[in-house]
Amino acid sequence: MVYSLSTLPSTFSRLNLFPKTFKALNLQRFHKQHRLRPLNYPLLHFPSSATRFSTSRSPLSSKPFDDDLVVLGIETSCDDTAAAIVRGNGEILSQVVSSQADLLARYGGVAPKMAEEAHSQVIDQVVQDTLDKAGLTEKELSAVAVTIGPGLSLCLRVGVQKARRVAGNFNLPIIGVHHMEAHALVARLIEKELQFPFLALLISGGHNLLVLAHDLGHYTQLGTTIDDAIGEAFDKTAKWLGLDMRKSGGPAVEQLAREGDAESVRFSIPMKQHKDCNFSYAGLKTQVKMAIASRNIDAKVPLLCASSQDRSSRADIAASFQRVAVLHLEERCGRAVEWALKIEPSIKQLVVSGGVASNQYVRARLDQVVKKYSLQLVCPPPNLCTDNGVMVAWTGIENFRVGRYDPPPPANDPEDFMYDLRPRWPLGEEYAEGRSEARSLRRARVHPSLTSLVQASLQQQ
């Protein structure tokens, strides 16, 4: 046995808090065992904190040794059970997503207990299909990456348990991944020229984040939502308009909006008086609900059965909602670009990722915003914007390269094992000058941010 299991952490540290000698010895053995070429492999040198950051600042390259790295990524933070296998050079060997479409359609949202059950039912099959599609067995993997937060605890646990079983049984290191970092970093798999620092707008069902990505694991939060995220507003609008939720609400609203007049319903843009980069969608949701009620739209009547007048009135609401929801993004992004250029004048790109970034109207409008500042818009393809295993595997690769991973867990966790799950886990520290008065102070049970943990571990070295 290469590793002394008694020295393993009970949780994912993500931060390599082991004594350097332990790490160096065991990792050298580990890299040999996994046929990584030690001389080419930067992690074996355990560089100082300064060089660590500078290595990840360099542009991504497909150096030959990167091809040796093959990482399985597992994602179960919300309603999609996803897995993928990605090579160090960015090649996607396979990916599988099992969505809880029927549950979503039936309940119009994610019910944690049912989502957990659905994940548990399919996780083994999803991972097996991912291996089969790649034509690999677990023995050929270099590491396992898994989302540990933020997300629903019950759901995260299913993925983490599976990841630890695979890693434990096949003696693989394990990387705990931040879901929102993964949404941002998958853009670097797609756009090989994308270097740190860059600005990212991450828009999903649970998050609205504007972050300045200084480096791997180092983010400044310029803005976040003070209540609901934009994806939640799309989902509720779809539900109240009686749309087919099987592919989640966003795509249904986007499609119907194409038929509508986006100027016909006067919704007001949220937070106009707050000159910051935070978001709010709760008020817009209420405005939509009232517009629907005043037009006597009955969500129980499916769109297909609606009269043409009813259909056009639903389309007008969808289009008007989408226009205003995106105007709010445009206004915040313009300001965030200005702030970001003051902090990091070298930024050249705005990354837009997360489920809502698959919306074509969102992309087109944000493209206009970045053009004003001569920046480039980088959006991953739609299937990499919504939750997926590729982003987790890729973020695992990026972190693994700089030594941020844990050694293999034991083959079997004890019954009462406390998993390190981080349901509320900020990505970065808040930008002090951008703090909003309207910002919610709900900070209970928030895990220290990824950035603060990385910075603390670097200082210890």
Which is closer to Zn ion, CB of 183 or CB of 239?
A: 183
Q: Which of 221, 215, 159, 149 is nearest to 188 (CA)?
A: 215
Shortest separation between residue 234's beta carbon and ligand KG4, angstroms: 4
Using CB atoms within 10 Å of the CB of residue 291, give its burial: 0 to 12 exposed, 13 to 18 middle, 19+ buried. buried
**Residue nearer to Zn ion on the CB measure, 229 or 319:** 229
Least distance (Å) from Zn ion to the CB of residue 268? 28
Nearer to Zn ion, 103 or 180 (CB): 180
- Peptide linkage before 42 cis (omega within 30 of 0): no
Part of the chain binding ligand KG4 (CB under 6 A), chosen from 209-217, 249-257, 298-306, 340-348 = 249-257
In this structure, are strands 208-215 and 218-223 parallel, antiparallel, or unpaired? antiparallel
Starting at the edge strand found earlier in the chain, the sheet holding 143-149 runs 92-99, 80-87, 70-75, 143-149, 174-178
Nearest to 93 by CA among 39, 160, 140: 140
- Closer Cβ to Zn ion, 99 or 204, answer by number: 204
One symbol per residue from 347 to 386: x for binding ligand KG4 (CB under 6 A), - otherwise; what is it?
-------xxx-xx--------------------------x
Q: Which is nearer to Zn ion, 10 or 383 (CB)?
A: 383
Phi then psi dihedrals of residue 194, to 5 deg:
-75, 110
List the strands of the sheet with 218-223, edge to edge.
376-378, 349-353, 198-203, 208-215, 218-223, 429-430
Q: Which is nearer to ligand KG4, 206 or 426 (CB)?
A: 206
Query: Does 249 sit near ligand KG4 (CB under 6 A)?
Result: yes
Find the shortest distance in angstroms from Cβ 156 to ligand KG4: 12
Q: What is the DSSP annotation of 13-25?
A: -SS--S-HHHHHH
Kindly report the backbone phi and psi dihedral angles of residue 309, in degrees, each rounded to the nearest multiple of 5, phi listed first: -70, -40
DSSP classification of residue 374: T
Q: For Zn ion, give the closer residue by CB, 204 or 248.
A: 204
* Segment lying near Zn ion (by CB under 5 A), choices 103-111, 147-155, 294-302, 381-389: 381-389
Task: Determine how many CB atoms are found less than 10 A away from the CB of residue 296.
Answer: 8
Contact flag: residue 387 with Zn ion (CB under 5 A): yes
Contact letters (x/-) for ligand KG4, 181-220, by CB under 6 A? -----------------------xxx--------------
276 binds ligand KG4 (CB under 6 A): no
The residues that touch Zn ion, with contacts defined as CB under 5 A, are 204, 387
The residues that touch ligand KG4, with contacts defined as CB under 6 A, are 78, 204-206, 231, 234-235, 248-251, 254, 354-356, 358-359, 386-387
